């Protein structure tokens, strides 16, 4: 087991942070110990998720946003953390992590920390350790943390649970207006960015998205930012219902390679943060996420306990009956618990 | 139970723009189950050390076809040490004259690969270099 000094992370020792991230990702107990030491000081960072299909320009956009926040926010620019998730191969477990290629501008600024991570079998666009990564960076004093998802597309909604603000990145030419009214990824957007606005069709893409949003956010509907705080969470429900004023997700055209539209997008991120804080949704989101994290932890731990206790032969027997359709899954469960 | 994956940074220092070799190696190491971070062309030694630090890699592989290896490789190794990354293993690939190999090895490189190297060997020797340092 490695030893990680939480004070070093607090002091801004980047190697200590980097090693703590590895420990978390490798299930090394030293990682959880460091996280536990820092946890009381966390909960301050603004987590901004960036999701969208492959090739829409998420990495380039994050690069530009990070640079913008570092250069244009006076007097004290935020420390920026970036977590970039790319897929792991389901066959070999290996991964090629290439998001840094688009973020070369940011190297050399000691107040920006970029970490690539492989999804390691998790679905939903993140890795199991992404939330813990964000918490560690928060504990290390990063004020603004961008989380770039795998980019697998429509089912990538885990980011809505983790991030305070979700930017969904679209690009022209990826589909017709029916794509825009399908359920899933667009519903989680707090801000929509239509990237590659210099290409033909970008205005059409933006118009289709605006139309979709108008349909979804007619008068009396729940605000978008609170919609995914489902009834599972008593706190979330209360807040969403008590809100009289909602958030209308803006649609922003950007050309990330040129930096066009970046100031407006940065402003939208800040207005969304102000909106969350003034309505109490910030705390509600935090509470909802921590509840879900705890539930997942309980699920994993119970599963592990059960695995340790279950009789191997009995398990094999029941499994055989299940495979031969002599038992239904529910009946098998009764026999094993 | 700890489950630590081998993390490798594939870097292209210097000014040559031929990255096919780097990509072939990156792909092969991915297929060997490693997590490979590729950072693109024209990296300075400082950028390479920065990326190695932030990504907490076990190995840095450099691809150099410009002939500047005798200057670039020691510069990267010194930067890594300056960042506290002495434990990171370094290999070099590309067009490296045989006469220059001993000097690079002396500087701390554990292997130098020329054109036509079987990529499986690159993967195996990474594992060997890491298990050696673990003992």
Phi, psi of A209 (to 5 degrees): -70, -40
Residue with tokens 């973020």: A103
Do A66 and A105 meet the contact criterion of CB atoms below 8 Å apart?
A: no
Taking CA–CA distances from A30, the nearest residue in chain B reads B2
Q: Is the pLDDT assigned to residue A174 strictly greater than 90? A: no
Q: Do B36 and A96 touch (CB under 8 A)?
A: yes
Q: Pick the closest to residue A224 from A249, A192, A250 (CA basis).
A: A249
Distance from CA of A104 to the nearest CA of B (A): 8
Q: Is the pLDDT assigned to residue A195 strictly greater than 50? A: yes
Taking CA–CA distances from A95, the nearest residue in chain B reads B35
Q: Do A98 and B38 touch (CB under 8 A)?
A: yes
User: ipTM exceeding 0.90?
Assistant: yes
Q: Which positions in chain A have a beta carbon within 8 angstroms of at least one beta carbon in chain B? A: 1, 14-15, 18-19, 21-22, 25-28, 88-89, 92-98, 100-101, 104, 107-108, 113-116, 118, 120
Q: Do B39 and A101 touch (CB under 8 A)?
A: yes
Q: What angle do CA A55, A58, A62 make, to 5 degrees?
A: 155
CA distances from B36 to A64, A128, A132, A151, B56 (A): 24, 19, 21, 18, 12
Taking CA–CA distances from B50, the nearest residue in chain A reads A107
Secondary structure (3-state) at B123? helix
Residue A36: asked if its preceding bond is cis (omega within 30°), the reply is no
Do A118 and A86 meet the contact criterion of CB atoms below 8 Å apart?
A: yes
Do A272 and A225 meet the contact criterion of CB atoms below 8 Å apart?
A: yes
pLDDT in tens, A208-253: 888 877 776 654 344 444 444 544 444 444 444 334 358 888 999 9
Query: Using CB atoms, which residue from A19, A95, A100 is nearest to B39?
Result: A100
Domain range summary for chain B, segments of one domain joined by +: 7-134
What is the distance between the alpha carbons of residues A179 and A167, in angstroms, rounded to a whole number? 17
Give the single-character DSSP code of A188. G
- A25-39, A263-277, A303-317, B89-103: lowest mean pLDDT where? A303-317
| CATH number of the B7-134 domain | 3.40.50.280
Instruction: Provide the edge-to-edge strand list for the sheet that holds B59-64.
Output: A95-97, B35-38, B7-11, B59-64, B89-94, B109-113
Instruction: Answer yes or no: CATH 3.40.50.300 is held by domain A42-281.
Output: yes
Instruction: Look at the pTM and tell me if it is higher than 0.90.
Output: no
Domain range summary for chain A, segments of one domain joined by +: 1-34, 42-281
Secondary structure (3-state) at A153? coil
Do B130 and B89 meet the contact criterion of CB atoms below 8 Å apart?
A: yes
Q: Do B56 and A19 touch (CB under 8 A)?
A: yes
Q: Do B39 and A104 touch (CB under 8 A)?
A: yes
What is the distance between the alpha carbons of residues B25 and B9, in angstroms, rounded to a whole number? 11
Phi, psi of B27 (to 5 degrees): -65, -40
Q: Is the model more confident about A20 or about A246?
A: A20
- How many CB pairs (< 8 A) connect A and B? 86
């Amino acid at each position: 087991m490695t030893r990680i000094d939480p004070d070093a992370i607090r002091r801004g020792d980047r190697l200590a942070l980097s090693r703590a991230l590895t420990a978390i990702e490798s299930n090394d107990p030293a990682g959880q110990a460091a996280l536990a030491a820092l946890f009381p000081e966390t909960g301050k960072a603004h987590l901004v998720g960036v999701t969208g299909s492959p090739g829409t320009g998420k990495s380039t956009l994050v690069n530009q946003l990070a640079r913008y926040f570092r250069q244009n926010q006076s007097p004290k620019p935020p420390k920026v953390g970036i977590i970039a998730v790319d897929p792991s191969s389901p066959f070999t477990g290996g991964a090629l992590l290439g998001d840094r290629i688009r973020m070369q501008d940011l190297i050399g600024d000691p107040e920006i920390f970029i970490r690539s991570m492989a999804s390691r079998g998790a679905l939903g666009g993140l890795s199991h350790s992404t939330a813990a990564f964000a918490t560690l960076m928060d504990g290390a004093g990063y004020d603004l943390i961008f989380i770039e998802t795998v980019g697998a597309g429509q089912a990538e909604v885990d980011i809505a649970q983790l991030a305070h603000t979700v930017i969904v990145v679209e690009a022209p030419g990826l589909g017709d207006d029916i794509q825009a009214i399908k359920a899933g990824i667009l519903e989680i957007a707090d801000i929509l960015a239509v990237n590659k606005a210099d290409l033909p069709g970008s205005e059409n893409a933006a118009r289709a998205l605006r139309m979709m949003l108008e349909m979804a956010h007619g008068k009396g509907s729940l605000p978008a930012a609170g919609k995914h705080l489902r009834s599972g969470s008593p706190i979330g429900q209360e807040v969403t219902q008590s809100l009289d004023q909602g958030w209308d997700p803006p649609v922003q055209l950007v050309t990330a390679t040129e930096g066009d539209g970046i100031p407006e997008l940065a402003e939208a991120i800040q207005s969304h943060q102000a909106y969350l804080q003034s309505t109490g949704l910030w705390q509600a989101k935090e509470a909802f996420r921590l509840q879900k994290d705890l539930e997942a932890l309980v699920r994993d731990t119970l599963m592990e306990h059960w695995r340790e206790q279950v009789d191997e032969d009995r398990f094999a027997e029941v499994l055989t009956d299940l495979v031969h359709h002599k038992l239904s899954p529910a009946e098998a469960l009764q026999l094993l618990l | 139970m700890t489950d630590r994956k081998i993390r490798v940074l594939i870097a292209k220092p210097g000014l040559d723009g031929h990255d096919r070799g780097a990509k072939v190696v990156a792909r092969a190491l991915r297929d060997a189950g490693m997590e490979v971070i590729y950072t693109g062309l024209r990296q300075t030694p400082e950028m390479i050390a920065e990326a190695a630090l932030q990504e907490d890699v076990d190995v840095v592989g450099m691809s150099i076809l410009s002939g500047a290896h005798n200057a670039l490789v020691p510069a990267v190794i010194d930067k890594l040490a300056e960042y506290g990354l002495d434990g990171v293993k370094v290999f070099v690939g590309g067009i490296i004259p045989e006469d220059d190999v001993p000097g690079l090895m002396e500087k701390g490189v554990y292997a130098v690969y020329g054109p036509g190297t079987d990529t499986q060997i690159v993967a195996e020797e990474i594992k060997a270099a890491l298990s050696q340092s673990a003992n």
